[in-house]
Amino acid sequence: MRIDQWLSLLVIALMMAAFVWGRYRHDVVAAGSLLVAIVIGIVPAKEAFSGFADDIVIIVASALVVSAAISRSGIMDIALRRFSPEKSGPRARLILLVGIVAVLSAFIKNIGALAIMIPVAIQMARKSRVSPSMFLMPMAFASLLGGLMTQIGTSPNIIVSRVREEITGQPFTMFDYTPVGAALALVGVVFLGIFYKLLPERVREETSMDEAVKINNYTTEARVVASSAAVGKSISWLQKPAGGDAMVTGIISEGGARRTPLPDMSLKEGDLLIIEGEQAALDRIVTEGRLRLSERTHDTEKGKVINAVEAIVGEHSPLIGLSAKEVALFESTGLNLLAVSRRDMRFTERLGEIKIRNGDVVVLQGDLQKLPDLLREWGCLPLVARDLKLGRARNGLIPILILAATMVATASGGVPVATAFFAAAFLMVVTGSVPLREVYGNLDAPILIMLAALIPISDSLRTTGTTDIIADLLSRTAEVLPPYGALALILVAAMAVTPFLNNAATVLVMAPIAATFAEKLGLQPDAFLMAVAIGAGCDFLTPIGHQCNTLVMAPGGYRFGDYARLGLPLSLIVLLVSVPLLILVWPI
């Protein structure tokens, strides 16, 4: 081997060791490795930043925006409450999630299936009071397994089909992958449902501040209007979406009479409800009951962006001792008072009649550009920015329709995945499904930088000719093995190479090798080509081999080494199950 080939392997080996060590963040390790590769000459300087234009980076970035839009729409919240098992534990919900993702991944691109379900998983985790890390990595692995079941589930299957057509004149058909792929998916779902505890519990760093300012006793008011789904429904029906985190504490009829909110009491048009609880739970009650949160409406013309913010009332605030009604808060400033929280206090009066005190926490809604000045004027200090759902505008079904169109476009093969997801992210922004001010906050920069830096480093294996040497070594080794051993070797090699070449490149490198030495051994190539597709589609050991693994890294708070904890035994299971099944279904 030449010196540049040894250097290429050395840089990758040291980089992987640094990832597993975990002393430095993954993007710092990747960027440092790229600089080293440039200095020693295995990555040309003019190619150093080509990774930023790679399809994988575009797909992951776009998928993050799409997933945020779906989460923001609230549609998945409603689906979660209606279709998830009410009294089941975290394990049952995990099995439900990985099963749904696996099935979806068979018919739409696996990253699309995962993007749809990530917001659902995060909501389920909150409802189960567990970390999202329990659900997200198993779901990513399930999406990879589900993609093995059909030709359109994942890119390696499509490429392998083309290679077979070049060799035999006949491509693999849509469901040629199903017998082996479905068996692997089923075994994988069972494994993930039983052994998910191999994963350490992780918490995303950014969520710690959210928890520090969590407020459970906001009081708000909302009216039952003619279009409300709550008309004629009981109090218990209305409170169900809150999951016990919010409740109706008072009812004021249209005529001003007060009623005690008994669980079986029916709601009437015009009823004003006093509701207390955590802000996200309040939002779920208002959203699913289709209640009117405020009697006041903002003028959204002239490019105004209406937003809600949490703030604490300072000791010198002119609001102290007065109510929002007394100071004509909306008329004088355009601010809506949406909720008030006071420690160890339950309010029974209407929101606008509450006398504000020093230390009260309020949710104020108004023109985003004017909010900072108005908060200073009224002596209110904004709390740390967090995902505030109460009073937030939604576009309902629009994000789901955009994603559905994206899935149809990619499944038909008419639009490349990167183009389709980029277009979907753009449409999410222009339709207001994700506010422009939040777009770049949803793009997880450390993940994208890591991917962009790794691509030219991984490509150095090809440009230095190292992959040709590896391929030649595999061919010579396979010739002295029995057929099942050669098949297993191809599968293991594809799994090992995928993190560094990505799954599509792995197939392009490995499929011709597999077909060639199958021919040399006098064996049929089909099982070997299928082994390449399975190996390339099953990277369970790192977050960098497939965009699905990368997509869950940040929201799950995972470290680089976490993937091998669950992924290594799953990889061994795939190997043990695949080889005999491939020989049975595709005799060699």
Domains of the chain from N-terminus onward: 214-295 (3.30.70.1450), 306-382 (3.30.70.1450)
Q: How far is CA 105 from CA 92, 120, 310, 362, 572, in A?
A: 20, 16, 39, 43, 22
Question: What distance in Å separates the CA atoms of residue 344 and residue 341, rounded to the nearest whole number?
Answer: 9
Are 306 and 366 in contact, with CB atoms under 8 Å apart? yes
Residue 273 sits at φ, ψ, to 5 deg, of -105, 130
Maximum mean pLDDT: which of 225-229, 281-285, 409-413, 515-519: 225-229
pLDDT digits (tens, 9 = 90+) for 122-135: 878 877 788 889 99
pLDDT digits (tens, 9 = 90+) for 336-380: 888 999 987 888 888 889 999 999 999 888 887 888 888 888 888
pLDDT reported for residue 502: 64
Q: Identify the band that residue 511 occupies on the pLDDT scale cut at 50, 70 and 90.
A: confident
The number of C-alpha atoms within 13 Å of 541 and in the hemisphere containing its C-beta is 18
Q: How far is CA 348 from CA 59, 265, 577, in A?
A: 50, 18, 63
**Burial (CB count within 10 angstroms: exposed 0-12, middle 13-18, buried 19+), residue 255:** exposed
Q: Among 42-56, 202-216, 562-576, which is the least confidently predicted range? A: 202-216
Question: What distance in Å separates the CA atoms of residue 380 and residue 467, rounded to the nearest whole number?
Answer: 62
pLDDT digits (tens, 9 = 90+) for 390-442: 655 556 678 888 878 887 887 666 788 788 889 989 998 888 888 777 788 77
Q: Among 6-10, 195-199, 413-417, 549-553, which is the least confidently predicted range? A: 413-417
Are 54 and 32 in contact, with CB atoms under 8 Å apart? no
Sheet holding 336-341, edge to edge: 258-259, 246-252, 272-277, 218-223, 336-341, 361-367, 306-313, 380-382
Joined together, the tokens standing for residue 349 give 């009066």
Question: What distance in Å separates the CA atoms of residue 263 and residue 178, rounded to the nearest whole number?
Answer: 50
Radius of gyration of the chain (CA): 28
Are 549 and 563 in contact, with CB atoms under 8 Å apart? yes
pLDDT reported for residue 298: 54
Q: Among 25-34, 204-213, 370-379, which is the least confidently predicted range? A: 204-213
Q: What is the mean pLDDT of residues 220-234?
A: 91
Q: Quick check: helix, strand or coil at residue 234? A: strand
Question: What distance in Å separates the CA atoms of residue 290 and residue 74, rounded to the nearest whole number?
Answer: 12
- How far from the centroid of its chain's Cα atoms is residue 401's Cα? 18
pLDDT reported for residue 74: 66
Question: What distance in Å separates the CA atoms of residue 447 and residue 445, rounded to the nearest whole number?
Answer: 5
- How far from the centroid of its chain's Cα atoms is residue 63's Cα? 8
Q: CA torsion sign, 497 to 501 to 503 to 506?
A: negative
Q: Quick check: helix, strand or coil at residue 46? A: helix
pLDDT digits (tens, 9 = 90+) for 77-98: 666 556 555 556 788 889 989 9
Q: Is 422 left (phi over 0), alpha (psi -120 to 50) or beta?
A: alpha
Are 331 and 366 in contact, with CB atoms under 8 Å apart? no
Are 514 and 528 in contact, with CB atoms under 8 Å apart? yes
First to last CA, the chain: 34
Q: Is 298 left (phi over 0), alpha (psi -120 to 50) or beta?
A: beta
**Burial (CB count within 10 angstroms: exposed 0-12, middle 13-18, buried 19+), residue 531:** buried
Q: Identify the band that residue 521 occupies on the pLDDT scale cut at 50, 70 and 90.
A: confident
Residue 209 has pLDDT above 50, yes or no: no
pLDDT digits (tens, 9 = 90+) for 445-456: 887 888 788 788
Question: What distance in Å separates the CA atoms of residue 294 and residue 169, rounded to the nearest whole number?
Answer: 67
Residue 115 has pLDDT above 70, yes or no: yes
- Give percent of the chain above pLDDT 90: 22
Q: Quick check: helix, strand or coil at residue 382? A: strand
Q: Is the pTM of this model over 0.85?
A: no
Q: Identify the band that residue 208 occupies on the pLDDT scale cut at 50, 70 and 90.
A: very low
Question: What distance in Å separates the CA atoms of residue 308 and residue 320, rounded to the nearest whole number?
Answer: 21
- Bridge pairing between strands 218-223 and 380-382: unpaired
Q: Quick check: helix, strand or coil at residue 248? A: strand
pLDDT reported for residue 144: 93
Mean pLDDT of the chain: 82
Maximum mean pLDDT: which of 63-67, 71-75, 508-512: 63-67
Residue 276 sits at φ, ψ, to 5 deg, of -125, 140
Are 494 and 510 in contact, with CB atoms under 8 Å apart? yes
Q: What is the mean pLDDT of residues 231-250?
A: 88
**Lookup result for tokens 């950014």:** 206
Q: Is 231 left (phi over 0), alpha (psi -120 to 50) or beta?
A: beta
Are 455 and 51 in contact, with CB atoms under 8 Å apart? yes
SS3 content of the chain, % helix, strand, coil (to 5): 60, 10, 35
Q: What is the mean pLDDT of residues 493-505?
A: 76
Residue 210 has pLDDT above 60, yes or no: no
**Lookup result for tokens 């390339």:** 536
Joined together, the tokens standing for residue 168 give 């035999």
- Give percent of the chain above pLDDT 70: 89
Are 297 and 336 in contact, with CB atoms under 8 Å apart? no
Name residue 552's amino acid. Answer: V
Q: Identify the band that residue 389 occupies on the pLDDT scale cut at 50, 70 and 90.
A: low
pLDDT reported for residue 572: 95
Question: What distance in Å separates the CA atoms of residue 3 and residue 6, rounded to the nearest whole number?
Answer: 5
Q: By C-alpha distance, which of 388, 386, 357, 403 is closest to 104? A: 403
pLDDT reported for residue 421: 84
Are 560 and 22 in contact, with CB atoms under 8 Å apart? yes
Q: What is the mean pLDDT of residues 475-500?
A: 83
pLDDT reported for residue 505: 64
Q: What is the mean pLDDT of residues 115-120?
A: 80
**Burial (CB count within 10 angstroms: exposed 0-12, middle 13-18, buried 19+), residue 73:** buried
What is the maximum span of the chain, computed from C-alpha positions, in angstroms?
A: 91
Are 556 and 202 in contact, with CB atoms under 8 Å apart? yes
Q: In terms of residues, how long is the chain?
A: 588
pLDDT digits (tens, 9 = 90+) for 306-335: 778 888 999 889 989 999 888 888 888 888
Residue 386 has pLDDT above 60, yes or no: no
